[in-house]
Amino acid sequence: MRLEQYILNFGAKFNRIDDYMRKKRANPEYRRIITGKKWQKLRRMKMLKNAIDNGGFCEQCIKDYIAGGQRPRKAIEVHHIVPIESAHTREEMEALAYDESNLMALCFECHHELHRQLWKARFNKAQRQLDKARKKETMENDINDYIERIKKGI
Ligand SMILES: [Zn+2]
Ligand SMILES: [Zn+2]
């Protein structure tokens, strides 16, 4: 079954978050945006804005700290809340990439964790689709068996 193969491939390829990040960076359109002047400038602006608004601390760490977590770490990376690569067209990709409200200034640890969760959500969604397809297949097989039995007069 195609979907089953997809899940297997998905599991093998994206076994580790590092592999997922490597795959993402290999996307030519993604590379073009991330290495472009427009993104570099927006990224600097976001870091500067975060320095003013949050003292340069990680936005996720601050959320966690307010909820009783550990002391915040400094933000060193800028994250896209809705991933650029989730877009289907070049225009959509650019819209997500350059949307200031789609950005978060994060520390390395929180950035890694957020991407791990994103990957997990995608994997779980694919798994649910597979379960649904399997259930449908079982139902269709039962119906076919039933029809066969009627034909044979069993
Ligand atoms: Zn953090
Ligand atoms: Zn990110």
- 34-48 per-position pLDDT tens digit: 999 999 999 999 999
Q: Which two tokens stand for residue 24?
A: 């993402």
Going from the Cα of 131 to the center of ligand 2, the distance in angstroms, rounded, reads 29
pLDDT of 13 > 60? The answer is no
pLDDT of 111 > 90? The answer is yes
- Quickly state the pLDDT bin for 102 (edges 50, 70, 90): very high
Domain extents in the chain: 2-152
Going from the Cα of 7 to the center of ligand 1, the distance in angstroms, rounded, reads 31
Q: How many residues does the chain have?
A: 154
Going from the Cα of 79 to the center of ligand 2, the distance in angstroms, rounded, reads 4
Round to whole Å and give the CA distance between 20 and 22: 5
Pairwise pLDDT comparison (112 vs 18), residue with the higher score = 112
Dump strand ranges (E) for the chain. Answer: 77-80, 103-106
Q: Are 62 and 105 in contact (CB under 8 A)?
A: no
Residues 51-80: what's their mean pLDDT?
97
Burial 83-108 (b: 16+ CB within 10 A, else e): bbeebeeeeebbebbbeeeebbbbbe
Residues 67-86: what's their mean pLDDT?
94
pLDDT of residue 8: 61
Q: Which ligand is nearest to the CA of 64?
A: 1
pTM over 0.75: no
Going from the Cα of 74 to the center of ligand 2, the distance in angstroms, rounded, reads 16
- Quickly state the pLDDT bin for 16 (edges 50, 70, 90): low
pLDDT of 14 > 70? The answer is no
Q: What is the SS3 assignment for 132?
A: helix
Q: Kindly state the greatest CA–CA separation across the chain.
A: 80
Average pLDDT, the chain: 87
Going from the Cα of 108 to the center of ligand 2, the distance in angstroms, rounded, reads 10
Q: Which ligand is nearest to the CA of 104?
A: 2
